[in-house]
């Protein structure tokens, strides 16, 4: 297949969906490839086992090399935007300053990125979750914070109508939103781009990328059968693990030795607390507010009021047998809080001889100290809220997967330049979370979209 | 035959492991009683083949162990979460692999056709509502 498309985009999540839209709207003939299947409001899995198995890489989760951390990334059309809570926050000055210092990229500041944020925000209905929609888990968090003088803030979510007042439970949309309320790229940018002529091929996994004199060659499998695609250019948008793996498997580390370095993931740790009265943390807007305290920001962590379905709670509980079952019988009485660390100790992504991912990432050193400080704050808040018992879960996990193909001015440390080009390969672009030069400590989704918009303008300008 | 991926011997081992991880407890039924193992292929077919091969090997090993032996291995795997080095990593993988399989099946809300008891998710009060869009 050659000459049919001006650009192929690999990966359909938060980055790929946005870039596909802006390039198509700019007049380019684009093809969007997604390794996973296409689901929709009428076909999303209806239970958590099927949701994990069908919508995530690894059949649910992928383990780090030492199995101390688990990583979750979606494998379906719309990518992680289908299974997250569509939380959309701008970076603060702290995050931009750190990025600029690390990368030397001039436009990494609030002023230069503002038009890109505004462009995305102007297209999506974004709501702050009001206090009237707080379930008891959120109310306990707010009560504990306010009693201790910690600042909190409502979460900003991309949604049209989650029908909380009518009794809808948003925890179900961890397996995809069956109301089409969540503003994933599946129901926004990809759909809009398809209306303009974007071609989409789900079930296509790219295994090799080659730069050729007239563009790029992508080799992979489509539903098990080998396929090859040629195009003048490619945008990699498969996320930190996917984009990095593809480049490593394709041998680009021979030219770009920094490939795979600088992996971050905002390591997260859950704490459960048992209360005498039912909490019903899974009801309504199960993730509604976060810490907004400058002391926590300086200490390198944030807290989020969130809960999990029983498949995850049972997994996180450190034990089995009657103890596990007795704990699960108290499910409705559990509140929970999550610590997310702004990690500064980089991990590394590599591949073995068979092309399998190896993720070297541990919670250690300064990251461990930050996590422990966060857990102390969590305990303090939950105790003040009246918890009877508190349980810190031993498994850390990463949902915000970042880095591996860092952007920056220093060619020795950064594989991507400020025009989102893979260094030395003018037909290969990347603007997904793999280019993050450091962990921002802020939910990354909106910034990935804003970078996608900026990258699409660069590509259209170059063409 | 509820699985085209696991052998009957491996399935029996999974049910034994499941009953140790998720035994009958008050109103909660035992793992094997729910028949959730009938849906194991829905989980395994999306896992990487090498992970499935590892789980099958582990189940075959456990199939010849007495219940006390399986319980000891699970306890050791749980304790291994604090250990460093390759032994700790292997133990954590065993714990996450086995417990992940059992807990995902048991708390999926799916029970075998003909099962008349309460589903574990109903017992603990987890049935999220999705309000249909007008």
ipTM of the shown complex: 0.96
Q: Which residues 80-109 of chain B have a CB within 8 Å of chain A?
A: 81, 84, 88-89, 92-93, 96, 99-100, 103-109
Tens digit of each residue's pLDDT (9 = 90 or more) over A258-285: 999 999 999 999 999 999 999 999 999 9
DSSP state of A154: E
Nearest to A49 by CA among B25, B73, B38: B38
Check CB contact under 8 Å for B104 and A60.
Answer: yes
Residue with tokens 């009518």: A166
Phi-psi region of A257 (alpha: psi -120 to 50; beta: other; left: phi over 0): alpha
Asked whether A217 and A224 are in contact (CB, 8 A), the reply is no
Reading the block at residue A362, the tokens are: 């541990």
User: Distance between the two ends of chain B, CA-based, in angstroms?
Assistant: 42
Give Cβ neighbours of residue B26 (< 8 Å, ≥ 6 apart).
A325, A326, A329
d(CA A36, CA A54): 8
d(CA A224, CA A356): 17
Q: What is residue A249's predicted lDDT score, i.e. its pLDDT?
A: 97
d(CA A361, CA A153): 30
Q: Which residues 41-80 of chain B have a CB within 8 Å of chain A?
A: 42-48, 50-51, 71, 74, 78
Burial of A185 (0-12, 13-18, 19+ CB in 10 A): buried
Q: What is residue B133's predicted lDDT score, i.e. its pLDDT?
A: 85
Tens digit of each residue's pLDDT (9 = 90 or more) over A145-186: 999 999 999 999 999 999 999 999 999 999 999 999 999 999
Asked whether A2 and A436 are in contact (CB, 8 A), the reply is no
Of B103, B120, B127, which to mutate for an interface test with A (greatest number of A Cβ within 10 Å)? B103
Weakly modelled stretches of chain B, pLDDT under 70:
1
User: Distance between the two ends of chain A, CA-based, in angstroms?
Assistant: 21
Asked whether A75 and A35 are in contact (CB, 8 A), the reply is yes
Weakly modelled stretches of chain A, pLDDT under 50:
1-2
Asked whether A347 and A404 are in contact (CB, 8 A), the reply is no
Q: What are phi and psi of A128, to 5 degrees?
A: -85, 135
Q: What is residue B78's predicted lDDT score, i.e. its pLDDT?
A: 87
Partner A contacted by B115 (CB < 8 A): no
Partner A contacted by B8 (CB < 8 A): no
């Amino acid at each position: 297949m050659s000459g049919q498309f001006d650009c192929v985009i690999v990966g359909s999540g938060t980055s790929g969906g946005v870039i596909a839209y802006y390039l198509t709207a700019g007049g380019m003939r684009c093809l969007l490839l997604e390794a996973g299947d296409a689901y929709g409001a009428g076909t999303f899995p209806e239970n958590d086992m099927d949701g994990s198995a069908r919508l995530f890489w690894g059949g649910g989760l992928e383990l780090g090399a030492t199995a101390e951390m688990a990583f979750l990334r979606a494998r379906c059309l719309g990518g992680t935007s289908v299974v997250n809570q569509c939380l959309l926050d701008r970076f603060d000055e702290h995050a931009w300053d750190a990025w600029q210092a690390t990368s030397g990229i001039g436009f990494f500041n609030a002023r230069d990125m503002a038009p890109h944020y505004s462009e995305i925000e102007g297209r999506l209905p974004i709501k702050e979750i009001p206090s009237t929609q707080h379930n008891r888990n959120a109310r306990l968090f707010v009560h504990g914070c306010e009693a201790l003088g910690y600042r909190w803030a409502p979460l900003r979510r991309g949604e049209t109508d989650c029908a909380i007042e009518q009794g809808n439970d948003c925890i179900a949309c961890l397996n995809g939103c069956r109301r089409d309320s969540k503003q994933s790229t599946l129901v926004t940018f990809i759909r809009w781009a398809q209306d303009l002529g974007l071609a989409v091929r789900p079930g296509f996994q790219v295994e090799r990328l080659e730069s050729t004199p007239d563009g790029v060659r992508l080799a992979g499998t489509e539903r098990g059968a080998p396929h090859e695609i040629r195009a003048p250019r490619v945008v990699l948008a498969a996320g930190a693990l996917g984009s990095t793996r593809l480049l490593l498997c394709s041998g680009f580390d021979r030219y770009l030795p920094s490939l795979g370095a600088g992996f971050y993931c905002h390591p997260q740790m859950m704490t459960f607390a048992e209360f005498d009265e039912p909490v019903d943390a899974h009801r309504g807007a199960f993730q509604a507010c976060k810490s907004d305290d400058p002391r926590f920001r300086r200490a390198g962590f944030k807290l989020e009021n969130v809960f999990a379905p029983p498949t995850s709670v049972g997994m996180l509980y450190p034990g089995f047998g009657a103890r596990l079952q007795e704990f699960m019988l108290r499910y409705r009485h559990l509140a929970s809080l999550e610590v997310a660390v702004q990690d500064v100790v980089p991990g590394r992504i590599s591949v073995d001889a068979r092309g399998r991912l190896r993720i070297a990432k541990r919670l250690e050193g300064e990251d461990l100290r930050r996590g422990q400080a966060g857990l102390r704050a969590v305990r303090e808040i939950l105790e003040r809220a009246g918890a009877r018992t508190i349980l810190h879960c031993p498994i850390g996990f990463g949902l915000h997967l970042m880095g591996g193909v860092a952007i920056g001015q220093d060619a020795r440390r950064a594989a991507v330049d400020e025009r989102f080009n893979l260094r030395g390969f003018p037909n290969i672009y990347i603007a997904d979370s793999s280019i993050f030069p450091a962990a921002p400590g802020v939910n990354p989704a909106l910034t990935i979209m804003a970078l996608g918009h900026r990258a699409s303008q660069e590509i259209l300008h170059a063409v | 035959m509820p699985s085209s991926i696991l052998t009957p011997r491996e399935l029996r081992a999974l049910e034994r492991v499941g009953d140790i991880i998720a035994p009958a407890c008050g109103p909660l039924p035992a793992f094997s009683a729910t028949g959730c193992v009938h849906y194991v292929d829905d989980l395994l077919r999306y896992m990487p083949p090498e992970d499935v091969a590892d789980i099958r090997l582990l189940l075959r090993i456990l199939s010849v162990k007495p219940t006390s032996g399986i319980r000891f291995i699970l306890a050791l795997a749980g304790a291994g979460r604090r250990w460093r080095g390759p032994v700790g990593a292997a133990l954590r993988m065993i714990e996450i692999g086995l417990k992940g399989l059992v807990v995902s099946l048991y708390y999926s809300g799916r029970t075998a056709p003909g099962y008349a008891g309460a589903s574990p998710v109903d017992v603990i009060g987890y049935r999220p509502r999705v309000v249909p869009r007008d």
